[in-house]
Structures are given as C-alpha cells and as structure tokens.
Amino acid sequence: MILPKAVLTAFLEARQAGPHDWLGMHPHPRGKTLGVVVRALLREVVRCEVVELATGQSWALTALGTEGFFEGIVPRKRAVFRYQLKATFRSGEIRQFFDPYAFLPTLGAQDLYLFNEGNEHRIYEKLGAHLRVVDGVPGVAFAVWAPSASRVSVVGNFNQWDGRYHPMRSLGASGVWELFIPGLGEGELYKFEIRDQRGTVRLKTDPYGIYFEAPPNNASIVWNPNKHHWNDATWLEARRAQAGQLDRPLSIYEVHLSSWKRKLEDANRPLSYRELAPLLAEYTRELGFTHVELMPIAEHPFSGSWGYQVTGFYAPTHRFGTPEDFAFFVDHLHQRGIGVILDWVPAHFPRDSFALAEFDGTHLYEHADPRQGAHMDWGTLIFNYGRNEVRCFLTANALAWCERYHLDGLRVDAVASMLYLDYSRKEGQWIPNKFGGRENLEAISFLRETNDLVHRYFPGVLTIAEESTSFPGVTRPVKDGGLGFDYKWNMGWMHDTLRYFQKESVHRKWHQNDLTFGMLYQYAENFITVFSHDEVVHGKASMLYKMGAWHIPEKVANLRALYAHMWGWPGKKLLFMGSEFAQSAEWNYAQSLDWHLCQYLDHEGTRLLLRDLNALYANEPVLSRNDFNPQGFRWLACDDAEGSVLAYLRMDPFEQTLFAVVGHFTPVIRQGYRIGVPRRGLWKEVLNSNSHFYGGTGLGNEGVCVTEDVPCDGFSQSLVLTLPPLSTMLFKWTAEA
C-alpha cells in the first residue's frame, strides 16, 4: 500500500479536503520509471480495473479494505494517460466509466478572482451545477462557495447520499469547492454535504440551484435552464426601444399564481405555468393591464410565506412546473403583449437548516451579530451586503432572472428594511454605520449597483422599490446620487386614501386632508399608485369591505369611486387580483379567487369599470404619459370638505388636452354644483363611476356639459354639474364654445 494510512482513514471517515491529491492517476511518488499510481473510491464495488482507452489494456487495482477504496500501479508508464475505470458492483453489474478525479478544474482563476471581488456578474453560470462536456466527456460540473468548510462532497442518488464517495476539490483562497462528475445528466438529485471546522456535518441545497424537488426533501435538481425556444423577439425589441421612457402607460395586475385560479374539480390544485399562461394573458388583455406582477415565485418551502421566504433564489418554484414551463409562461404573455414583473426578495432569507443559514458552519451569507443579521419582523436573516461574494450572489441573481426568463421588471420587496440599520429595532438593538448614522451603507451600495447593472445589461427592464419611508432619491439615477430605481410604490397615498374611504361618509368632512396631502410630495419620486396584496389580508378586509358603508351597493359605489379617482390621479397603477371585481372575502393564498361573484352586477360592474379605466388611461396621453410632470396637475376644488368633493385637472404640458376629475364621496345627490374650469366650451363626460353599466344608478350629466361665464374657483368660467352620490366622473374638454 502506497497511500499513507492516515490519508486512507481520512477518506473513509469523510474528512478528506484534498481528494484530487490522492484519487485519480498520478506519477509514482518514487519516480516515473516505476509507472503511475491509480486510486479510486467507489461505493458498493468489489473489483476495479483501470482501462487505457488508446489500447484497451487494463490493470487490476487492489482493494484497501471493504469500503471500495482501490489502489494500483500501472508499470512502465512515464506519464498519466486517458483512462476509464471498470468496476464490478456487489450486485454483479459491471460498468466502465470515466473517473471524476481525472479532470482539471472547470473554473478559471479569473472567474474566482472576479467572484471574490464581487464583480462576476454571471457567476450563476460558474457556481452551482451545470451540464458540461469536458474533454469530450459529458457530465455535470459542481461548484459551491463554502470557505470555512473542512470538507465538501456532492451527494445524491448516484452515490446513495454518502459523502465519502464524491469529495470536492478546494480551489484555494477563493473558498470555492469544485468537482466534475462524468456521466451524470439532467434530472439528477443532489445536495452538498458540508463538514465544518468543528466536525459538524450539514446537508445543504445548492444556493445557485436552478430547480428543486418538493418539500420535505428539497433536493436540488440538475437542469438546463436554456431549453425553451423563445418567440418574443418583437416584444424584446420594443422593450429595448422604450428604455428610459418611464412616463408611459403602466398598469399592473398583481398576481399570486397559486390562488388566482384553481382546479376545484381536481382536488383544488393550482394551475401549472402552462395552464396559467393563456388564461392570464387573455384576462389581462381584456382588462387592459400592461403588465402582470408575480408575487415571489423563487423556490420556497412554506406556501404560507407567499413566496417571501426564499430558499432557492435562482429557481422558479416547482409548484407550477419546470424552469422551461415558466419560460413558456413568460414567452406566451410577451406574445400577447403583456409584460411580466417579478417580486424579488433580496432583503432577507429564512433560517431553514437545509438552505443558506450558517451555510458552511459560519455566518456566511448573513451577519453574525443579530443586531445586524436578524430580521425582527419576520424572524428571518439579513444578508451581509458588505461581503463581496454575497453581493455578487444577489446582484447576479437579479441579472439571471432577466436573462434566463426575459423578465420585464423586478419589484424589490422590503427596501425600507434594507436601507435602515434601526428598521423595526429599539434603542440598543442596532449598530450605527461608520459615520454614526442609521443608514445601511452596504445595502444602499448594493441597491445602486444592482439597479445600474440591470439597466446596463437589459435596457427597458424596470426596477421598482417597495419603500415605505421618505428616503430621498429612490427613483433618482445613480449618477445623480439616487438609488437608481425606475419607480417607487406610493405607500403614503395608499394609506391616506384608504383611511379616508374606510370612514363613513358623515365623518369624511373632517378628513379631506387625507385626499389632498399626497400632492405635497407627489412629484418627489416616480410613483406607482398601488393597492397591493398587503391591503387585503390579516384582518384588514377586502377592498370592498374596507369601504365605509353598511350596505353592499354603497360599498361597491365607494369602491368604484375610489378606483376612478385612482386612475385619474397622477402615477402609474397597480391593483391586486380579485380587487378588480370587488371580491368580498380577504385574499386566501390556499384558495381560488371567488370568480362566481362576477355573475352579479355589483362585482362584474366593478370589473367592467376597471376595463374602461385602463382603456381610457392607455389611450389618453394626458393620463398615462404625464404622471411625472408637475405642470400637468392643477387643483380645481379641494377645499369643499363639507360636501366631500374633490376636483382636479390633468393636462398636457401645452394645455391642449384637459381632463377634469370630479369626485363626490357622500351618499346624497348634489344638483347645480359649480366648479371652475380653465377653458370655455364643451366638457364631455367620458366616464362616470355611477353609470348603469357599472351597477350604479345612472345619474350623471347626460354625457356633456357646457361652461357658463360665471367666475368660480379662480377661473372666469365654470361648469354646473350634477354630482351623483359616491361617484367619480372624468370630463374631457373638447371644443371652444
């Protein structure tokens, strides 16, 4: 036996950190004239030979014990040669195959350097598991970052999950471990078995895994993410042409794929990506939405987290199909003219033992100090954005979703929790930054870098911040000192407006400020006006049941008035699924929406109103291409708190097209209500939320109003209107009198 006994023991006890130093073929340690030494560690093998491929000649290896460790000398060979191993298994099966330990590393020094520096933007093509052909041999190249591990092995069905049999090679100071296993293919289950410096063994899924099996096993699956043949070139070219044109129609339908529609007759199962694609595309087209925004679909073990506790950052969840099924979903929506935005979650990750937490026995992806690394609200862990490799992991993740799945935008979740070190913490529970402040400088740098790279690599792809504070410059370009997002959710407008509409009408006169305050900061950012999933869960009531009225018809009238006001107000639009047809119940992630309600006019009428609002919004540039122009808005009447009336003007920069939006939010009829307007002539009533068509009473202004030369509201002419109860109307100036 040439192998030192201590080395053999380390192999058999799964403690060997340098397997390539011993396994495979090596020159004889006592000189080339004696030949080459071949060693193999094979599970359930009783006999092993080394076969020279050039000649077919073979030499038997000697078993060193019963665990499958073999060693032998090929005499009179002065250099290593191309070979295979021929193994006889305990079952009697005989197989000949390439030796994993006969191959050079599949990662280069430049790859590792850029990764450690935090600048390898396509690290997802290097780390993880990738189908490769090396020296003409197909197989799978595995690589994982675990710098503090004492040993890492690839385990799977191919070695009965035994970490002794495929130990990986350490690539030095990079912290990366690597192994090419010939003969493996797509569909192979695998994990990384990691032994830490204390001897504790952890079984971890691949952080860069492309596809995962269902819980409770959660194994990574070898998969090719590029199998789908895309047919959306026209869409992508149009998207690129629109890069930088932020003030354009953007109306977003927020969707939770598992509960949008379900197969009730098939055990209430969710629809697959391929089943969802045509249904969702046609529905959003019918209603006139420009985009769908998917609540997180990256792999997550617990459905009750709605996807926000991610364990597979690079993998579309298995729940609805394979990665190419998801690619088909996006492709189909693109071909039908619908963009796809992904809810992306780089703010935190769960503590599940099989995933990122304490990955190599240390706090690798998260901060060690809980004052920095523990998320107080969700019991999760916070990424260490100051670590180059972690920043590389996350930034490349954003780019991977855009490249592999042609996504049109990333809505970044919980940005506020990333920006502030004291977010949801009491005094003494957080650590100030190096300047003594509360800003998380590393997270801010990460967000700027990610936004910059997404826009650089994928012109036209949007980044959207869910940011609930007044942090300055969220949508200002990075070059101007901002965070570099394209849009920000307008959480302030949402909270104020809902607070107003939740009150019974008799009390609203005391809260007119809730409707007007938002204009003080409306043009500070590029805002999206939103009513998202967060507003219809946890006892907050559905959008319908939030409305401050006792009877359903009045609640529906309030909701229609609210939606018409929302679409008239500056800002892009987002609405959560089910809200468009005034679903009565709160959203339940485990059930389908209550589609049967659409047989009733109260609900179907609300849906039809949303359709017409989207059509008006898309077809009238004043409403859809003028959201970020402060000169495009003017108050007409905002001080009639007693009457709960709100009126404002939307206009183009040259004041050639004008819309008057008039909201009346009490249940009484107001006849002869005078509102001043800046132009004489005809003002056509282009939309009335009280229309019979939408389930209202039909009372309005018979389609058109003509100005009178009576001064009002600071204008020399005015309109005399009939204000239906609980309604919003839009009037368009069309001609001079």
C-alpha pair distances (Å), 433 with each of 24, 143, 430, 439: 50, 34, 10, 7
Rounded CA-CA distance 732/701 in Å is 13
- Which of 92, 95, 75 shows the shortest CA–CA distance to 84? 95
Active-site pick, 389, 413, 525, 685: 413
Cis peptide preceding 216, ω within 30 of 0: yes
Active-site pick, 466, 525, 535, 685: 466
Q: Can you say how many angstroms the Cα of residue 16 is from the centroid of all Cα atoms in its chain?
A: 39
Q: Which residues of 416-426 are buried (b: 16+ CB within 10 A; e: fewer)?
A: bbbbbbbbebe
| DSSP annotation string for 505-558 | GGGGGGGTHHHHGGGGTTTSS-EEEEE-GGGGSTTS--HHHHSS-SSHHHHHHH
**Would you say 476 and 483 are in contact if contact means Cβ atoms under 8 Å apart?**
yes
125: Cβ contacts below 8 Å, ≥ 6 apart: none
**Would you say 605 and 693 are in contact if contact means Cβ atoms under 8 Å apart?**
yes
Active-site residue flag, 413: yes
For CA atoms 576, 581, 582, 586, give the dihedral sign.
Answer: negative
550: Cβ contacts below 8 Å, ≥ 6 apart: none
- Which of 232, 229, 223 shows the shortest CA–CA distance to 185? 223
For CA atoms 424, 429, 434, 436, give the dihedral sign.
Answer: positive
Rounded CA-CA distance 396/405 in Å is 14
C-alpha pair distances (Å), 64 with each of 7, 40, 153: 12, 10, 21
Determine the Cα angle at 17 with ends 12 and 22, to 5°.
70
Helix (H, G, I), strand (E, B) or coil at 233: helix
How many contiguous H segments (helices) and E segments (strands) does the chain have? 16, 36
Rounded CA-CA distance 61/48 in Å is 6
Rounded CA-CA distance 485/137 in Å is 45
Rounded CA-CA distance 255/340 in Å is 10
Just list the catalytic residues.
Answer: 413, 466
